[in-house]
Amino acid sequence: MFSELFLPVLMVIFMLVVGGYAVAVLDRLVASALGTPQAGGIWLAPMARGAWLLTQHANATEAPDWRAWRLAPALYLALAAGGLAVVPWSASLVATDLVTSVVLWGSVEALATVVIFLHGWSANSLLALIGGYRYVALGLSYILISMFVLIGVALPAESLQFTQVVASQEGLWNVIRQPLGLPLFLIVGLGMTFWGPLNLADSTDLAGGTASEISGPPRLVWDMARATMLVAFSGVAATAFLGGWLGPWLPGPLWMSLKMLAVLSVLLLLGRLLPRLAPERCVTLMWVVLLPLSFIDLVWAGIGALL
């Protein structure tokens, strides 16, 4: 029983630490490849930034909701950990091999909206508040798209368990079998971590939005939570569409890491290449274009599963 509890916790903590660092390094790599000047070593910079944040004093506003404000980054980190817990690294190497992991991931996505809104609201500062409320519109929109796409992935697997979803891709990966799935899911990923074009919560036109009033250790936890949520999302995307641990020659976990790195790179690239969407345009796009596309994806998946 000890190893059944202790090992999963260790696994997830390891993934949180390594994943967060990897995202920070990868983001700097992408930035310097695209032309933003980066100083110093790429490998040292995230550590230096983390050390600086630990030494800076945490900020306060005049009358925030203290508990919610300090809880929100930790809650977001916990959600990322929950997501990472269901990502399978091989047929037997999963932190928690839940029978209903798709449902768990859906609840992680839904709760992410709540947590991000809470972070913006609890600071009791105007720019943070606008960021939080603006994000909720996006948050409510991407949930449906994500769920239709994931249900489509679950159909051929006849199960809501991620290990079964990967097992069902032994013949053909879902990215080819259900071509609409991965692009739609990547957009959901950008929304969940409010990254790049969908950064309505922490945007530059709000001087940092929900993050405009935080400094020091809470800001470090918030940034880490965003990075680890990206990692968790890329794990789920690799599981659901890129065949998880399946692949010749290399061991399963290594394939999984490579696929996660690939998805991460695409997300980070998209984050830097696309401008921020106007909120109205974003919501209209999601409900009028992307949601019907996810319907089509579901129907396609259904027909494919029956044939």
Partner 1 sequence: MAVNWLHKLAARGSVPVFPVLGKQGDSALRHLALSPQIELVDSPRHASVLLVAGEVPADRFEPLRRVHDQLPYPFTTLWFRSEPWPHLERVARIDDLDDLPGALVMAHRELMEGRRGSAHRLLPDEPPNPWEGEGDFGQGGEGMMGGVPYGRPMAMNMEDDIRDGLTLDSLTFRLGPFFFAFPPGMAAEITLQGDLVQTWQTQLAPYPQPLDDVFFNARERPVPIAEVELARARHHLHRLFHALHLAGLENVSLRALRLAHGLSTSNTLEGLRRALSRSGFFRLTAGGGVLGPEQARMIGGPAARAAGLDDDLRAEDAGYRRLGFSPVCQTAGDTLARWRQLLDEIDQSLHLARLAERDRVHTERTGSVETPRGPWSARRPADASALFDELLPGLEWGDALAAVASLDVAGLTDQPVGTRPSGESRAVRGGTGNDV
Partner 2 sequence: MELFALLIILIVALGAGLLLQWLPMRHQPRPNWSQRVPFLGGGTPDSHAWSRYHVRYYPMTLLLIAFEMEMMFMYPWAVVFVEKGMKAMMEMGMFLAILSVGIVYAWREGVFKWQ
3-class secondary-structure state, position 134: helix
In this structure, what token pair is assigned to residue 281? Answer: 């345009």
* Closer of 70 and 276 to partner 2 (Cβ): 70
Interface with partner 2, residue 237, by CB under 8 A: no
Segment 155-174, which members bind partner 2 (CB under 8 A)?
A: 155-156, 158-160
Judged by beta carbon, residue 38 or residue 284, the one nearer partner 2 is 284
Binding flag, residue 70, partner 1 (CB under 8 A): no
CB 45 within 8 A of CB 38: yes
For residues 46 to 65, the per-residue mask of contacts with partner 2, x marking binding by CB under 8 A and - elsewhere, is --------xx-xxxxxxx--
Ranges within 117-136 binding partner 1 (CB under 8 A): 126, 130, 133-134
The residues near 125 (Cβ < 8 Å, ≥ 6 apart) are 61, 64, 212, 213
Q: Look up residue 288 and give its DSSP letter.
A: I
The yes or no reply on residue 41 touching partner 1 (CB under 8 A) is: yes
User: Which residue in the set 111, 159, 272, 302 belongs to the binding site for partner 1 (CB under 8 A)?
Assistant: 272
Hey, CA dihedral for 117, 101, 237, 150, is it positive or negative?
Answer: negative
- For 298, residues 6+ apart whose C-beta sits below 8 A from its C-beta are 148, 149, 151, 152
CA atoms within 13 A on the CB side of 91: 7
Tokens 């925030």 map to which residue? 64
The pattern of x and - marking residues 185 through 204 that bind partner 1 according to CB under 8 A reads: -----------xx-x---xx
Least distance in angstroms from the C-beta of 218 to partner 1? 10
Name the residue nearer to partner 1 (CB basis): 274 or 299. Answer: 274
Q: How many residues sit close enough to partner 1 to count as binding (CB under 8 A)?
A: 56
Alpha carbons 106 and 27: distance in angstroms, whole number: 26
By the rule CB under 8 A, 289 interacts with partner 1? no
User: In whole angstroms, how far apart are CA 253 and each of 22, 154, 215, 230?
Assistant: 16, 22, 36, 18
Identify which of 149, 128, 139, 112 has the alpha carbon closest to the alpha carbon of residue 283.
139
Give the number of residues in contact with partner 2, rule: CB under 8 A. Answer: 87
Q: Which stretch binds partner 1 (CB under 8 A): 26-34, 183-191, 226-234, 251-259?
A: 26-34
Q: Is 269 in the site for partner 2 (CB under 8 A)?
A: no
Which positions touch partner 1 (CB under 8 A)? 31-32, 34-42, 44-45, 47-49, 51-52, 54-59, 62-63, 126, 130, 133-134, 196-197, 199, 203-208, 211-216, 219, 272-281
